[in-house]
Structure 1
Amino acid sequence: MKQTLFSISFFCLSSSCIYASYFGERMNVVLIMADDFGYECVGANGGGYDTPYIDKLAKEGIRFEHCYSNPLSTPSRVQLMTGKYNVRNYTAFAKLDRKEITFANLLQQSGYATCIAGKWQLGREEDAPAHFGFDKFCLWQHTQKAVDAQRCDTRYANPVIDIDGQTIDFPQNTFGPDIYCDFILEFIRENKTKPFFVYYPMVLTHSPFVSTPDSENWSPIRSSTYKGNPIHFPDMVKYTDKLVGRVVDELEKLQLRDNTLIIFTGDNGTSTAIVSLLNGKTYVGGKGKTIDSGTHVPLIVSCPKGLRDEVNSNLVDFTDFLPTICDITGTSIPSSLELDGKSFYSQLKGKSRKVRQWVYCWYAPQKVCNKNATVFARTHQYKLYRSGEFYDVQRDFYETQPILEEQMTNKQKKIYDIL
């Protein structure tokens, strides 16, 4: 059921806008979020993987060095889609409170065609995607479980997917990531003459770690283990990059690329089973942990007409995506939503207005219990937990030695008080 509880009024962006008003039409937005895909997975960030299409997006846009998510999937998705910290609206793992309004609700009400394809994991109600603002959907882990009767994973080989209200058990030799991507490409073709919003929460590169159709020894059989084999992870990163390239190529083919903003990120850190390289140094995935390797994710914002090849070192967190997308598309936000996020739209235009000074995280992934939640606030260098533990995360990456109050410099004491 589509949201009808509020109305949206349009406002015009200033003549200095590098997006919608520049082209005389509203900007399309494609938000791509890879699963369990940390900062170190992107070559342009100094990662050890080959990601030419994602790197090209960075070359055609802005690469953010300090974007932070929550350490796990559902908490990050709830935060991203609503613009609010989990302390205010998180109810349970694999659920999104139906009272919440998402970025898709807002854009749909403002005239955008909306689509989601990939991983859902936000509630098994049949109408859930439509309720949260999506006209079209192609989703894994929506009404169906993540595994089949034999406990084999259903997202990759021969997937089980809900497509616009119909559950399809795909046959042998099909690969889920291709199906989700194909659905998005068809949606773009069908809506090329109107403004559209695509949310593409990929299933790659989450475990089970499996071969892909481009691997030398692809196995079109569902994985029977939760983890799979980490040896396949580089091929999964490569396939992720390939699918990003397919989206970009289709936009260029339809002559939509200059009026489409592409945002690429990851939902949380890479699996702890994966050991990568970052700037030539060993980097172990930190999914589920509140250290940097669990929360530091890539963020690239790309549009050939209007953005330059540059690096942005300002802080961004997942509450910031909703207000930024609304700014870009000229979509007003009802004051009743009381968002936590800060739009970084001005930064895309080369300005430093409203730069975030801190990032906040409230993390209780399985069962909501404020007493047991892990809570922290941080700057680029320092992190303060609700427990009182205070770390210099640039010097102490794994947060093993909290700085005691009597050891703090005057500068550190001021930062501690702010946080």
Structure 2
Amino acid sequence: MICYLVKVWSAIGLRVALSAVCVLLWAQVGHAAAPPNIVLIMADDMGYECVSANGSTTYSTPHLDRLAADGMRFRHAHSQPICTPSRVQIMTGIYNERNYIRFGILDPQATTFGHLLRKAGYATCIAGKWQLEGGMQAPDLFGFDEHCLWQLNRRPSRYPNPGLEVNGQQKDYTDGAYGPDIVTDYIVDFIGRHQDQPFFVYYPMILPHWPFEPTPDSEDWDPQAEGLLRGHGELKYFKDMVHYTDKMVGKVVAQLDRLGLRDNTLVIFTADNGTYVKIKSYIGDRAVQGGKGLTTDNGTHVPMIARWPARIRTGQVSNALIDFSDILPTLSEVGGAPVPDRIDGRSFFPVLTGQKDSARDWIYCWYERNGRVNRASQHVRDRQYKRYADGRFFDLIADPTEQANLMVSELSSEQEVAELKLSKALAEVLERSEQTEAVKQERKASKDE
């Protein structure tokens, strides 16, 4: 076996040799014969209510519905209220109170799931929206071998005739191309080129974030359009953009199926936050107002679907409580990569494989768009109740928009138990938060000396 690895090393290089080692280690610890491929797709500004498998009567999402029918649909997955906080948390497995700097940046010292899976022998690719600064070298520095991104070091059109950065080169498209098609086609090509080795694709989608513009499937699509650089566009196009989001997911999944990679590929679909605040959608006859930027349910409740035919039974609906810090440890466990110390997330791999119903009893949210500690909103919640650091307590089933603060003196016995549990959890988090802030201040003081 050692001789074989030496030959591999000599013939095709260090990275592929490491991949071979990881395959062997994976088999030795009781996993399948080959590490699974991983595709993580995250839509931009698309709340739980936008997927017809979740009961939406406003949108039709047949590809996502099929993905859910073939795997597991989650009813209680939560992001952060807006994009950068969610991107930082999903990529690092750490709550924002510990490593969030400000909007539009990822800590240059952060360890991401790209680092972990690349080190474990995966070919890694990120395509879609960046918005995390760091310059042209950032994708590689954060663990990605290849990239095809919008907003890496500039902010041109993202939809018709876009400007993108592809593996360190700025590219401007003027032939009627549509940004989401370009990045999705790049992913499809990447999968084809790496079908014989483990790969990790992270697809932070451009869609369906404003500006709301026609898609190539809209009746008034104009291939000569320059794309809006200012303003939100017209709300009427949001529905078309959700449909195109679904279409792009279908294109990626179809490539996996076409190449025979279906069974041994974990596909996870989710979204980075709730829907834009001016958009009203329906689940059945219940109206859901978009809540992007809010800590209420409509700001953080997002769709999540997982398909992995080799390990996930079809047609599952999970009540497991998931937050974005849980993605990194889950992908690490799936890919056989060591999980860093001191992360906050908990792997829901046992939920995917039917070994557990849930990996946690509560989730925590620290949110302040620009990272200002003294203005941050903090809460702990479970499936039904939410406790804020300022003392507010809500029943989210009876009051999803948080209009009626429940007074502690008037709680039922069930509510008292829930409030006590969440208060204890919040106290633990706040104590750790104070310790984290003290460490930050010590580091700052040492730098200033």
The answer to whether 1:240 aligns with 2:252 is no
2:301 is matched with which residue? Answer: 296
Unpaired stretches in structure 2, ≥5 consecutive residues: 1-17, 423-449
1:3 is matched with which residue? Answer: none
2:322 is matched with which residue? Answer: 316
1:255 is matched with which residue? Answer: 260
2:5 is matched with which residue? Answer: none
TM-aligned CA distance change 1:14 to 1:351, over 3 Å: farther
2:366 is matched with which residue? Answer: 362
Alignment partners' CA distance in 2, 1:25 and 1:296 = 34
- TM-score, structure 2 as length reference: 0.86
2:119 is matched with which residue? Answer: 109
Q: Which structure is higher in RCO with an 8 Å CA cutoff and minimum separation 6?
A: 1
1:44 is matched with which residue? Answer: 53
Alignment partners' CA distance in 1, 2:26 and 2:199 = 18
Alignment partners' CA distance in 2, 1:279 and 1:79 = 32
The one-letter amino acid of 2:148's match is C
**SS of residue in 1 equivalent to 2:263:** helix
Larger mean CA deviation between 225-234 and 407-416 belongs to: 407-416
**SS of residue in 1 equivalent to 2:350:** helix
TM-aligned CA distance change 1:370 to 1:286, over 3 Å: same
**Residues 1-400 of structure 1 mapped to structure 2, 5 A cutoff:** 12=25, 21-22=31-32, 24-48=33-57, 49-144=59-154, 146-147=155-156, 154-220=157-223, 221=225, 222-308=227-313, 309-335=315-341, 338-352=342-356, 355-366=359-370, 368-400=371-403
**SS of residue in 2 equivalent to 1:355:** coil
Alpha carbons 2:26, 2:34 under 8 Å: kept? no
- The alpha-carbon deviation at position 317 of structure 1 amounts to 0.3
**SS of residue in 2 equivalent to 1:257:** coil
The one-letter amino acid of 2:251's match is R
Alpha carbons 1:364, 1:374 under 8 Å: kept? yes
Detail structure 1 runs of 4+ shifted over 3 Å in the superposition. 7-17
Alpha carbons 1:157, 1:172 under 8 Å: kept? no
TM-aligned CA distance change 1:311 to 1:12, over 3 Å: farther
Alignment partners' CA distance in 2, 1:56 and 1:141 = 31
- The alpha-carbon deviation at position 124 of structure 1 amounts to 3.8
Alpha carbons 1:342, 1:354 under 8 Å: kept? no
The one-letter amino acid of 1:330's match is G
- TM-score, structure 1 as length reference: 0.92
Alpha carbons 2:320, 2:358 under 8 Å: kept? no
Identity %: 46
Q: What do the CA deviations read for 1:68-108 (whole angstroms, capped 9, x no partner)?
A: 00000000000000000000000010000011100010000
Q: What do the CA deviations read for 1:180-222 (whole angstroms, capped 9, x no partner)?
A: 0011011111111100000000000000111101111103321
- The alpha-carbon deviation at position 15 of structure 1 amounts to 8.8
Larger Rg: 2
- The alpha-carbon deviation at position 174 of structure 1 amounts to 1.2
- The alpha-carbon deviation at position 140 of structure 1 amounts to 0.5
Unpaired stretches in structure 1, ≥5 consecutive residues: 1-6, 148-153
Q: What do the CA deviations read for 1:327-379 (whole angstroms, capped 9, x no partner)?
A: 111111233xx11001000011111176210010000112x221110110001
**SS of residue in 2 equivalent to 1:47:** coil
The one-letter amino acid of 2:340's match is P
Alignment partners' CA distance in 1, 2:232 and 2:86 = 21
Q: What do the CA deviations read for 1:232-261 (whole angstroms, capped 9, x no partner)?
A: 111111111111111111111111111111
Alignment partners' CA distance in 1, 2:297 and 2:28 = 39
Alpha carbons 2:26, 2:35 under 8 Å: kept? no
Q: What do the CA deviations read for 1:1-38 (whole angstroms, capped 9, x no partner)?
A: xxxxxx99969568996xxx33x111000000000011
The one-letter amino acid of 1:180's match is V
**SS of residue in 1 equivalent to 2:391:** coil
2:436 is matched with which residue? Answer: none
Alignment partners' CA distance in 2, 1:127 and 1:15 = 36
Q: Whose helix proportion is higher, 1 or 2? A: 2
- The alpha-carbon deviation at position 411 of structure 1 amounts to 2.7
